[in-house]
Copies of this chain bind each other. A is one copy, B any other.
Amino acid sequence: MREVAVVGVGMTQFGMSEKTQIEMFSEAAMDAITESNIEPRDIQALFLGNGLGDFEEGQMNLAPMCAADIGMSNVPATRFEGACASATVAMRNAYLWVASGFYDIVLVGGTEKAMAMGTPMATRTFAMGSDSRYEGFAGITFPGAFGMAVHLYSKKYGIPLQKLKEQMAMVAVKNHKNGVLNPKAQFRKEITVEKVLSGIVIADPLQLLDCCPFSDGAAALVFASVDKAKELTKKPIYIAGVGQGSAGPLYTQKDFTRIKARETAVKQSYMQAGVGPKDIDVCELHDCFTIAEILATEGLGFFEFGKGSQAVEEGKTSLNGEIPINPSGGLKAKGHPIGATGAAQAYEIVKQLREECGERQVKGAKIGMIDTLGGDLATVCNMIFRR
């Protein structure tokens, strides 16, 4: 296996877009291609993440359409779907095609138009990511599942619910604060703990501002073999490790304050990269709900199990904390275009490791990580990047 590096990145503004999924992807991809000092004809394959383009725009088999739209017809173009982790799964596969020596330069990313159908319908539609036989049928949605996780976490670790809700609110406050510093973020407005705690209840005890939005958006990256990367850019960012894990429906999971798919995935990522949680300088992770960020910081090993909510309160995950989490604003403030999210996380980490993040720059970041969750804790995929 040879080393693989990111040589260019691109990302649309997140939020509501008038463009189609294909057009949004083209915008992000052309930025990534331009930054890579290549042309579309230099690219040997496309790896695309997308969640529900068929429901959103009546478009199945999206990958060849995206490839054609940027003038790279005929190359293998493949769509990956792992619910919200779609783009990260696509990136892990793209990594292997280059690492194995099969391709030298590939394009990877994701796109999604999740906003137009409106939040209530999107919530019901994306609930198809949970098991349809027993759980979806019984009415479970993602806010419902993560609401249960809050109660379980509170009980398991003896943290009073009101206390936990305040700590969760601090996740939202932090991520909105970071989002203000990100010109591509959907929400660029600070909020307060009081505001979070006075929001309408979505799925008890989750309130409105505990939840990320559904967004439109796309992000893209160009991966190249180490030799090509050195020719193309002065700032290659290397992929040091990749991991992916799965789990069955929620009813088969013993304890969903511990996300087995993540613990499986991250073991692979750390082992391949030869690093541990203490070595990670910056991390973009899956804060679809505030509790999800807390669970992820524990699952990735940054904090002991049961100590994640306290760590937020102590500022350990802030921009200047010991392990800055979601400097981009995360799904919470930057926005969450399902199938594009993983690629947007990678966009941020690459920018951080190149020290191109301006006011939200994590100083001296050398090793960064992304972690993306799909479905009812069913798919987790993560990647470690280094300068």
Report which A residues bind B (CB closer than 8 A): 1, 20, 22, 46, 51-52, 54-55, 57-61, 63-65, 67-69, 73-83, 89, 92-93, 96-97, 99-102, 126, 128-129, 131-133, 136, 244-249, 252, 260-261, 264-265, 374-375, 378-379, 381
Report the 3 A-B pairs with minimum CB-CB distance, sorted nearest first.
A68-B248, A76-B244, A64-B246
Are A100 and B96 in contact, CB atoms less than 8 angstroms apart? yes
Establish whether residues A81 and B100, one from each chain, have CB atoms under 8 Å apart when the complex forms: no
Q: Given that A100-B99, A248-B73 are known contacts, is A81 also in contact with B65, CB under 8 Å in the complex?
A: no
How many subunits of this chain does the assembly comprise? 2
* Best-buried of A58, A97, A99, A374 by chain B (most CB within 10 Å): A58
A1 in contact with B101 given A60-B129, A246-B77, A248-B68 (CB within 8 Å): yes
By a CB distance below 8 angstroms, the chain B residues around A57 are 132
Are A378 and B65 in contact, CB atoms less than 8 angstroms apart?
Answer: yes
27 contacts between A and B (CB under 8 A): A22-B133, A51-B60, A52-B54, A52-B60, A54-B128, A58-B128, A58-B132, A59-B128, A59-B132, A60-B129, A61-B379, A63-B82, A63-B379, A64-B82, A64-B378, A65-B378, A68-B246, A68-B249, A74-B247, A75-B246, A76-B265, A77-B246, A79-B81, A79-B82, A96-B97, A96-B102, A100-B100
Other than A58-B128, A63-B246, A93-B93, give 20 A-B pairs with Cβ distance below 8 A. Answer: A51-B60, A54-B54, A58-B132, A58-B136, A60-B81, A60-B375, A61-B128, A64-B246, A64-B247, A64-B378, A68-B249, A68-B252, A74-B245, A74-B247, A74-B260, A75-B264, A76-B244, A78-B80, A78-B244, A96-B100
SS of A interface (majority): mixed
Residue of B nearest to A243 (CB): B76
Alpha-carbon distance A96/B73, docked complex (angstroms):
22
- The answer to whether A61 and B378 touch across the interface, beta carbons within 8 angstroms, is yes
Q: Complex Cα distance A79/B265, Å? A: 17
- Contact of B248 with A64 in the complex, beta carbons under 8 Å: yes
Q: Which residues of B contact A247 (CB under 8 A)?
A: 64, 68, 73-74
